[in-house]
Structure 1
Amino acid sequence: HDSAARLSKISRAAFDPETRCPAWERFIDEVTCGDEELAAFLQRVFSLGLTGDVSEQALFIHHGCGANGKSLAFATLANVLGDYAGAVPADTFVHKLGERDRELTAARLVGKRLAYSSESNDGERLAEATVKALTGGDRMTARRLYCEAVEAAPTWSLHLLTNALPKVRGLDHAIWRRLLPIPWNRVFADHEQRPRRELEVEFAREADGILAWLCRGYIDCRSGGLRPAAVVVQAQATYRRDSDPVARWLADREAVVRDDAAEASVGDLHAAFVQWCSDDGSATLSHTAFAKALDGAGIRSRRTAAARLRAGLRIVAQVEVGQRGGMCVSEG
């Protein structure tokens, strides 16, 4: 560290491009189950913590059951990066924040290059507006307690560590292009586990080598892009499909079937969808959002004098509105 450079932050590793980190690389190989493509992707993802470059506009969601090494990985990265890394509360990403809370969160992140959460609870809903704001790349208002507000440019890559993927209600591209779920599928059995403190000490000895490993990852990222691994691309597609209630409803052959000769009114389709969501425990959609989702699924519409119809769908569980406004279900 050179005080003449007037830097306010310092890492805990020195740069030597020739230094290696065999224990760390062996650990990465183990937690990725020997998937070399995923290991290389993790190296590129982690390397963003060196740069202050937020052009990826991503929230990296590291998910998987316990005893898989993800919390140890981030503790190690935080040790290597020193003042440039920091933890943020898990509810940053899974609770709806007001403007004041968002300013306090931004203040925690100012100057960080790697920001990561603690484990979130299962079944939490993603705070989509907050994720968009923190990954958007625009300057943000940051305010510490009892201090004046300041504007800050984002410099952080964001990581959420969780056992289960948070629920996402938004169907728009603006949120889904930001979410990159990274599976941590390796679960270490009791007899495979070494004391955490022992591993932390071993990785701390390799801090210089891990910094060089991160630099090599960034060179790879700069030359070829982030290039998500195939398992991540598949996880993202599955996550999006499972989060889309209309897609799951359309896929449920006990609820609705594709039939080129059939037509159904939008009102009947929406009522059937609402009933399905109630039975499934899923969040429903408004008429407008439902219609947009049908458009996105390629369900054609046409208007008659009496109603707007959708072609190619037949309701299996037909929802009928009774004379008193109640609903009953009859098999169609």
Structure 2
Amino acid sequence: MSALLDSALELAELGIPVFPLKSNKRPCQEGAFHDASSDPETVRRLFADPLASLIGVPTGAASGIDILDIDPKSGGDLWLRENEHRLPAARRHHTRSGGVHLFFVHTAGMANSASRIAPGVDVRGAGGYFVWWPAAGFFVTGDAWATWPAWLLLDALRNINPNTPAVNAEELSPPDADSLLRLLAIMPNPAETTRDEYTSVNLAIQGCVRALEALNRLDDPTPIYDAAAEWSARWDSADAGDFQAERARWDDDWSTRDRDVSGWRHLLSMAGKLGADVAAFRLADVAAEFGALPDEPETPGAARPAALTPARAPAELSVTEPTEAGTALGFAKDMHGRVAYDHSAGAWTLWDAKAGAWIQDTTGRGFATILEFVAQTRALFGGGEKALAAISFASAVERAAKTDPRLAVSSGVWDPDPWLLGVPGGVVNLRTGVLQNADPAHRITKQTKVAPANPGTVAPLWLAFLASATGGDASFVAYLQRLVGYCLTGDVSEEMLAFPYGPGGTGKGTLFGTVASIIGAYGLQMPIETFSKNSRQNPEYARARMVGARMVMASETESASGWAESSLKEFSGNEGTISAREPYGKMFNYRPQFKILILGNHAPALKGRDTAMERRLHVIPFEHPPAVRDATLKARLRAEWPAILRWMIDGCLLWQRDGLGMCRAVEAASRAYFEEQDSLKAWAAERLEIGAGCRAKRADLFSDFSAWCRANGEPASSAHEFYESVCRSLNLNHAKGADGVRYLKGADIRKEGRVIPAAEFSDVSALLH
């Protein structure tokens, strides 16, 4: 078997499709590019071609790989030197011509391009291929492919180099004529504006008009030219000329250009330079652009998890005698900090240095580590100790090692620091937002799905989605950022629970589903019955499932269901531990780290206004469905997960600085929700006479209230809750008659009289005078 075929089969075994190339880097056979395969038999057949000299790998969805191709002969090395500090750690192949291939996880919409980012910087994506240079003897640095950083992703997907063919109308056009008019209305034109800037703006306006006309999005350009004239008139400068005369020159100038043209994006840039707030325009621009990306299948093998790194015994063992006890003591001493036995879970837990986390053993790796250690112990003593070769010897060593205090732990030792966030390959200190090296002493077992992007990295598609879902409310977006940042921590000092609600398709599921996917094991989906009244679930079992979670989500599906308010108040408190029990296990207590989010299309009913619930509950309204549903949005957001996680970490820092609070939208929705829940207030307005001389039997009042609730479809409270609420809300006092019957003074069931609307019943004390 040739070395070339060996290398091709090794790649195929990793799931990477391959095909043969000639020495000139062209496919050996016409169409061979489309025959690329990871099937061993197919690979053998393909590479039997006598012309096969190099290994080709297709890029794009076929392999899950995008390549950034740096060509030093065309100036790519200059770009690389200028941007090296911004690039993520990624696998690199160094080619025979001195170039570099940087490996990235394939992103939907990424296709081949030449010098679109910069001269000598090409992209190999969907429809392309590259040479697997290590098979030809050239060297490799790095290991895994990286996720495209947001700044480079934007450049790769849309930037047009001036040396490439002319841009088209879609790239010059604003979203619509109204967007252009709104921008001109807010764009300043200070006296400091230079003649070049003045001309540049007007040429960009011309480009926008031409593009809109070419796309049949503009019937009459007159309103735009009038707005441009008004903007030009605001320039208090001797350099300003007659607008109409100059417009004719600009029109002619624009018509003669085929490459050096400008339009909407340049106009946004100039507007921002002149002092306009263009953030909303940019978000809409990015959303419109990236909304057109094609839907591609999920890339195979794009994010293969790192293999579990077994704990290895050191070369010099601490075993002093080749007995079961001596070997167990040596194992405990040498492997402390790399293995532990969790008696709560009944399983070994191993430190995976590559992942940067402790991983519970489910495949026998713990016992395999002991077998390896025993084998090295036997070798240490000359290999003559036959007893050490028996499985029973290793089993005895395992039984002894489990009880050694250096290795024996319980579930309470894991993930103890609420301010550390495990991420692939490291740990984020949430107090500072800084990524630091993982350490076994952190005892971290949970990790997010991705590592965060570098500070300052932007997630443009995510921000565009948030702007759409909140109706462009920046304070609402800021609140959501603080909320999800708070959910990254194990801190529960806010004593709150969130209820995002609204019709389907308004973004709540996409938002919190994306967050839950990114935080991985720190999030937990629970059935809604866990938080519903009259649930048949064992509450102790449900509580046991939530140990260690930082964000617990449930979906409310029944419009008539009600909440288990006492449980919700207990879960969202910050006053101590809660009790739980695994099935067939013992009762235990733990301090919750989780925040509860219940997503729903309907607002579940409460028994009435309760100050504790009113203080805790954040009602988060989602009321802005997109004009066109984007079925590919969730999939396309995956490319931004690292940047979204960085946005969440920034939100955690903002929460620590400013507190969670509420934005206006959440405050108004929460207030309205509790006003709707005030069944006691509505009943009293309809059924009671209020006055200092009034009194009624407690049992009669409760019976009347219960009947009213049944007739109106409202949830009824218990007698104890009713008496407590009615006295507090209506300022009633308890009294006892001579016959021993208990009364409430200050109200009586109304026999006749006017019905007081609930809206007028806001101040009962006023009716008592």
Report if TM-score (shorter chain) is over 0.5.
yes
User: In structure 2, the residue corresponding to 1:210 is in which secondary structure?
Assistant: helix
Query: Is the alpha carbon distance of 1:81 and 1:248 closer, same or farther for their aligned partners in structure 2, counting shifts above 3 Å?
Result: same
Bigger RCO of structures 1 and 2 (CA < 8 A, at least 6 apart): 1
Q: Could you report, residue by residue, the CA deviation over 1:47-72 in whole angstroms, capped at 9, with x for unpaired residues?
A: 12211111112221111111111111
Q: 1:273 to 1:78 in 2, by over 3 A?
A: closer
Does 2:544 match 1:107? yes
Structure 2 residue aligned with 1:249, among 683, 687, 708?
Answer: 683
Indicate yes or no: 2:34 matched with 1:34: no
Tell me which residue corresponds to 2:356.
2
Following TM superposition, by how much is the alpha carbon of 1:19 offset from its aligned partner in structure 2, in angstroms? 1.2
- Does residue 230 of the first structure (1) align with residue 664 of the second (2)? yes
Find out whether 1:264 has 2:698 as its counterpart: no
Contact 1:24 1:206 in 2 (8 A): yes
How much does 1:311 deviate?
Answer: 4.0
Instruction: Check the 8 A contact 1:79/1:204 in 2, yes or no.
Output: no
Contact 1:96-1:130 at 8 Å conserved across structures: no
Farther off after superposition, 202-211 or 5-14? 5-14
Counterpart residue type for residue 181 of structure 1: V
Letter paired with 1:71: G
Distance 1:177 1:25 in 2: 30
1:286 & 1:5 partners in 2: Cα distance?
Answer: 53
Task: Quote the offset at 1:286 in angstroms.
Answer: 5.5
Q: 1:284 to 1:159 in 2, by over 3 A?
A: closer
2:662 is aligned with 1:199: no
CA distance in 1, matches of 2:746, 2:715: 25
Bigger shift: residues 269-278 or 6-15: 269-278
Q: What is the TM-score normalised by the length of structure 2?
A: 0.37
The AA in structure 2 aligned to 1:233 is E
Correspondences of 1:1-332 after superposition (within 5 Å) = 1-3=355-357, 5-6=439-440, 7-15=444-452, 16-97=454-535, 101-137=538-574, 138-169=576-607, 171-189=609-627, 192-195=628-631, 198-252=632-686, 255-256=687-688, 263-267=693-697, 270=702, 272-285=704-717, 289-301=721-733, 308=743, 310-311=745-746, 315=750
* C-alpha displacement of 1:287: 5.7
User: What is the DSSP-based 3-state SS (H/G/I as helix, E as strand, rest coil) of the residue aligned with 1:223?
Assistant: helix
Aligned-CA RMSD value: 2.8
When residues 285 and 110 of structure 1 are mapped into structure 2, their CA distance, relative to the original with a 3 A threshold, is closer
Task: Tell me by how many angstroms 1:130 deviates.
Answer: 1.8
Q: What amino acid does structure 2 have at the position aligned with 1:2?
A: G
Q: Quick one: percent identity of the two aligned structures? A: 28
Return the alpha-carbon distance in structure 2 between the equivalents of residues 272 and 217 of structure 1.
Answer: 49
Alignment CA distance shift 1:148-1:232 (3 Å) = same
Quickly say closer, same or farther: Cα 1:127–1:317, change in 2 above 3 A: farther
For structure 2, list consecutive stretches of 5 or more residues without a partner in the other structure.
1-354, 358-437, 754-769
Task: Give the counterpart letter for 1:204 in structure 2.
Answer: R
Counterpart position of 2:104 = none
The corresponding residue for 2:29 is none
CA distance in 2, matches of 1:21, 1:9: 24
Deviation sequence 1:153-193 (CA, Å, 0-9, x none): 2111110011111121154423332222111112335xx10
Confirm or deny: 8 A CA contact 1:299 1:312 kept in the other structure: no
Q: Distance in 2 between matches of 1:275 and 1:74?
A: 40
Shift, 1:312, TM fit: 7.3
Q: 1:248 to 1:101 in 2, by over 3 A?
A: same
Cα distance, 1:145–1:297 mapped onto 2, change above 3 Å = closer
The answer to whether the Cα contact below 8 Å between 1:241 and 1:247 also exists between their aligned partners in 2 is no
Deviation at 1:298, TM superposition (A): 4.0
| Kept after mapping to 1: 8 A contact 2:448/2:522 | yes
SS in 2 for 1:204: helix
The count of aligned residue pairs is 309
| Kept in 2: contact 1:111–1:156 (CA 8 A) | yes
Distance 2:689 2:545 in 1: 50
Give the SS at the match of 1:132.
helix
Stretches of structure 1 lacking an aligned partner (at least 5 in a row): 319-332
User: CA distance change for structure 1 residues 290 and 135 in 2, over 3 Å: closer, same or farther?
Assistant: closer
Query: Structure 1 CA distance, aligned partners of 2:465 and 2:689?
Result: 48
Q: Decide whether the 8 Å contact of 1:122 with 1:165 is kept in 2.
A: yes
Q: Give the stretch that moved more between structures: 128-137 or 209-218.
A: 128-137
In structure 2, the CA distance between the partners of 1:132 and 1:155, relative to structure 1 (3 Å rule), is same
Decide whether the 8 Å contact of 1:180 with 1:236 is kept in 2. Answer: yes
Which of structures 1 and 2 has the bigger CA Rg?
2
C-alpha contact 1:91 1:120 (8 A) present in aligned 2: no
Conserved? CA contact 1:31–1:68, under 8 Å: yes
Rounded to whole Å, the distance in 1 between the matches of 2:552 and 2:490 is 11
Q: Is the 8 A contact 1:54 1:135 kept in 2?
A: yes
Query: Secondary structure at the residue paired with 1:30?
Result: helix
Cα deviation for residue 226 of structure 1 reads 0.7
Larger mean Cα displacement after TM superposition, 143-152 or 154-163:
143-152
Partner of 1:322: none
1:149 and 1:105 map into 2 onto residues whose CA distance is: 13
